[in-house]
A and B are shown apart, each in its own frame.
Chain A
Amino acid sequence: MTLTWDMQDAKSTDDRDVVLEVKDLRVHYATPLGDVIACNGISFKVYEGETVGLVGESGCGKTTTAMGVLRLVQPPGRIVEGEVLLDGVDVLSLNEEELRRVRWNQISLIPQGAMNSLNPVMRVKDQIGDAIQTHESRAREAVKERILELLNLVGLPARVYNMYPHELSGGMKQRVCIAMAIALNPSLVIADEFTSALDVIVQRVVAQTMLDVKDRLGMSMILIGHDMGLQAQLVDRIAVMYAGNIVEIAPVEDIFEESLHPYTQLLIESIPSIKERKPLKVTEGLTHDLRNPPPGCIFQFRCPYVMEHCREVEPPLRELKPLHEVACHLFEEQDGKIVDISDESVV
């Protein structure tokens, strides 16, 4: 694992600053039958101004990873080890008060369930207001001005200021959450499936709002979701997760045009096309018991190209070309080209 990171540093060190660096994050959920490994040594970086997509099927650990980064893993879950360097400071080693100050100032969250993420008995102004006033001492008038500005930024009318959450539609609530998340200009915003509770029309509108806001403010983002189409429009790089591991991470064009990992390919094939009628591809086999992963590759039970080697040795996440990392035995780098070793063809 260390080797991988050294390679990346050597090859593709960007001019851009690293906003977030997650190193070997492990989150376990305690169950009576042993720990479920929801996050099995996740490592990735988010650069300044960049949006990283985190995709994968339900239960693969996307949200757990996000909650780990925010240090908000709820019991029975716990962060076992790892480092979460936010602007160079390890969030996991801060004390309660330091952590409280970092939250929302530097890292904010657009939650998964916008429907229930607003306190039902507080007005919108008070809920955005308390996030601002906890961290900054501003005059009441200045706070009001800021909230109205934020509402305007996400395309909400000013009357929302005085409203209660139940008076808003789902899309409006989600936009209030977006406004709240950017209230303090954090360096990183984590959006956890922020459109999943909305219908497609509203999804589009909210996604558009998100794009506008992102362009204007230029903050870094982690966008969690399983909607590959939405990801394609919104993110710069995609990290594909499977069973608590990142199996491939690459710029978004690479993922769609020359994805390497068999799981990523399956994910992309599963996107329905309106141009052609194709049979739905279903992978056989189930994900292994997350309580005790098998030796070797975690995808071996569902992989169509599984080899003997895959059942014995765990494939490390390797950078096969600049910014494109994959954890799979199928590929080797030969003379600057990626070769599929099963049939010796150049990818």
Chain B
Amino acid sequence: MRGLTPGYLIRRLGMFVLTVWLGATLIFIIPRLAPSDPVAAMVSRLLAQSGSVEGSAEMIEAWRARFGLDAPPLIQYLRYMRNMLTFNLGYSLTSFPSEVEDMVVRALPWTLGVLSIATVVSFVLGNTVGALLAWRRTPGLVRTLLPLSFTFTAIPFFMLGILLIYIFAFGLDWFPVSGAYGRALTHNWNWEFVKSVIHHGTLPALSIVVTSMGFWGLGMRGMMITTDGEDYMILAQAKGLHPRRIFWLYGVRNALLPQFTALALNLGLIAGGSVLVEYIFAYPGMGYLLYQGIVNTDYTLIQGIVFIMIMGTALGVLMIDLLYPFIDPRITYETR
């Protein structure tokens, strides 16, 4: 375990717990600072639907007790923390009696699947293109054509999503318009189902890859130009190494280090889903769920999703911190 010490590991894990705790506390406090009362809001919604509800005052009281909102804030907070620790995210306010936990567990795999694949593909493609753009040996024609792939970065991904649906789903009918798998299929992992999942996931993933590639590419290009001016690049050339080896092991390997940090932060955000992309493609992931939660003012749902996002980001950063000594030998957590 180069560079990693038990002492650091413990400190770093402590930091992780602290981050998640602070985040969870914030999402406990913030909604309670808002003037609206979710139960009263729900009852008035019921009132609006059915004209009159008998005993609405008692109903509010009963529900407040049911959701534990009548307890003193400290008790509420302790209960809340216990629930978060056991991943008991409570009931959804609007789709009662479904539990938030179940909703999240149903949505999370779709989001993780599409977004992590899209992010990794975008990272690999973008960085390769960026590095090639900065590389002096890249043929002129390639170097002229490659920047075109970055022009899509200027288009917001939801716009591109709409465009992709218009062309490939409506126009050419190559891909389905919405959903995560064919309606006729049951949820079991046979080839038919997997094929359908890939078929449905392609367009959402593509819209993310194409629009985020430029972010990686432009960053990588800058880093690569800086690296190319380093003395070790000139010495590598003087050594008569194969150009491909110089490019990957001396150039890209060094230029990539800062990109990894950005990747970790991006990976953390994946758990929260991409709201707009999932909304446009009606993809049943976390982003879509969050959208529904916001539209229906479903506080418990929003709270649960935000908690998952906090966990995701904290985990992503934790992961990169622990991996860094292996990526860059100069970084060590040993105290000498």
Contact = CB atoms under 8 A, between A and B. Distances in A.
A134 B242 CA distance: 7
A168 interface: no
Contact of A111 (B231, B242, B249, B257): B231
B240 A135 contact: yes
Given A120-B254, A121-B329, A122-B249, A112 B241 contact: no
Contacts of A104: 238-240
Contact of A72 (B230, B234, B328, B329): B234
Interface in B100-158: 136
A109 interface: yes
Contacts of A42: none
B232 interface: yes
Interface of B: prevailing SS = helix
A25 interface: no
A119 B250 contact: yes
Given A111-B235, A130-B245, A120 B330 contact: yes
A121 B328 contact: yes
A138 to B, nearest CB: 16
B236 interface: yes
A18 interface: no
Interface stretch (A33-41, A53-61, A95-103): A95-103
Interface in B239-272: 239-242, 245, 249-250, 253-254, 257
Interface residues of A, number: 32
B249 A117 contact: no
A166 B241 contact: no
A100 B240 contact: yes
Contacts of B237: 72, 103
Contacts of A135: 240
A74 interface: yes
Contacts of A75: 136
A75 B232 CA distance: 16
A116 B229 CA distance: 11
Q: Which of B136, B241, B253 has the most CB of A within 10 A?
A: B241
Interface in A132-172: 134-135, 164, 166
16 contacts: A104-B239, A109-B235, A112-B231, A116-B230, A116-B231, A116-B232, A118-B232, A119-B250, A119-B254, A121-B254, A121-B328, A130-B239, A131-B239, A134-B239, A134-B241, A177-B235
Given A119-B236, A121-B253, A164-B329, 6 more contacts: A100-B240, A111-B235, A116-B230, A119-B232, A131-B239, A131-B240
Closest 7 CB pairs of A and B: A103-B240, A116-B231, A117-B231, A109-B238, A131-B239, A100-B240, A164-B329
Interface of B: 136, 230-232, 234-242, 245, 249-250, 253-254, 257, 328-330
Interface of A: 70, 72, 74-75, 99-105, 108-109, 111-113, 115-122, 130-131, 134-135, 164, 166, 177, 180
